[in-house]
Amino acid sequence: MGNKFFVSDCEGPISVNDNAFELAGYFIEDGEKFFQIISRYDDILVDEVKRPGYNAGDTLKLILPFLKAYGATNQNMEQFSSRNVLLIPGAQETLSMVNNLMPSFIVSTSYEPYIRALCDQTQFPFSHCYCTRLDLDKHTLSGEDRNKLKEFCLSITSNPQFDNLERIFWEEIPDMEIGSLFQEVKPVGGEAKKEAVLNIIGKHNFKPRDLMYVGDSITDVEPLIYAREHEGLAVSFNGNEYAVKEASIVVISDNTIITSILSDMFHQYNSELVLEFAASFTDNPETALQKYQVNPELTSKLTKTNTRLELVTSENLEELTEDSKKFRKEVRGESIGGLG
């Protein structure tokens, strides 16, 4: 048996937050609407336009000049993030258990201050995290450019047409000094998440089939595909359409205890047995938990949650997608749950 290892996205499978969305709402005028527009634009660039060199999650670099214009600093971003970490119920226990079972990692598009805050709260080792690093304070912004960015922000929220966003992000801002952020900051999303997984494999001499990956959004598509195609375990946790489509297993739950159960089983056996368990659980959860001798303590906790577990097939993909998206919004709220 190989050395199993666990990799999870953060926002969604571990926490309720979308830290970048929340930062935008806190600092930027009409920031939630602004972020939703940019997030949808990000989805289009990745899923439809397929812009070369652009990855899912690059929203996090596109919004940085605007955060700077509206007064965000390294310090107040850290303070805001520390005050606002909100975990999915059970997440702290799941992270602790899984990290004791096998080498465990968080690979997240989130900004570093948020991931540090989450690690402080959960006692998860930050050294096992991959996230989006940034230093806003080293970038200067003239009064003229600050006002120009605020005008661009108003233009985006009042005219969110694709051509307008193209002009602002790829013609106007790159000519400004603050545009250097676009080159400097490398969000860990999409292909960059897969590269993080490959880095983990190379650094620790793991085998791809020993990977369990948990994700929930468009930024997780590449690592989910990688896990599934290499006979590892690809899990969507309250995922949107992008994650559900590429997962082997879909989890719809208000608690991470099911992640603990799947991790424990994967650690002891392999992805094939976990897939068998998932199929059995769909038919009869109580029988499956007994047949596969799931830890009684975990079983007891699971019965107190609202949890659905299913294999993804061509027959149930549409229904699973709609149900997962609906529940995702119930757990994370309509605004965050609706983001890509």
pLDDT by position in tens, the chain (length 340)? 579 999 999 999 999 999 999 999 999 999 999 999 999 999 999 999 999 999 999 999 999 999 999 999 999 999 999 999 999 999 999 999 999 999 999 999 999 999 999 999 999 999 999 999 999 999 999 999 999 999 999 999 999 999 999 999 999 999 999 999 999 999 999 999 999 999 999 999 999 999 999 999 999 999 999 999 999 999 999 999 999 999 999 999 999 999 999 999 999 999 999 999 999 999 999 999 999 999 999 999 999 999 999 999 999 999 999 999 999 999 998 878 777 6
Residue 71's domain comprises 19-84+135-184
Question: What pLDDT is stored for residue 269 in this prediction?
Answer: 94
Pair (104, 245) in one structural domain: yes
Dihedral over alpha carbons 23, 29, 32, 33 (to 10 degrees): -150
Pair (128, 139) in one structural domain: no
Q: Strands 249-253 and 233-237: what pairing?
A: parallel
Pair (169, 240) in one structural domain: no
Which among 144, 137, 138 is positioned nearest to 175, based on CA atoms? 144
Last residue of a domain, one of 184, 213, 247: 184
Pair (117, 197) in one structural domain: yes
- Report the C-alpha gap between 103 and 166 in whole angstroms: 42
Supply the CATH number for residue 306's domain.
3.40.50.1000
Pair (71, 140) in one structural domain: yes
Pair (201, 59) in one structural domain: no
Pair (110, 69) in one structural domain: no
The pTM of the whole model exceeds 0.75: yes
Supply the CATH number for residue 162's domain.
1.10.3870.10
Last residue of a domain, one of 144, 164, 184: 184
Pair (178, 198) in one structural domain: no
Pair (113, 233) in one structural domain: yes
Pair (173, 313) in one structural domain: no
Which among 251, 190, 258, 263 is positioned nearest to 224, based on CA atoms? 190
Based on the structure, what is the number of domains in the chain?
2
Pair (263, 319) in one structural domain: yes
Pair (160, 244) in one structural domain: no
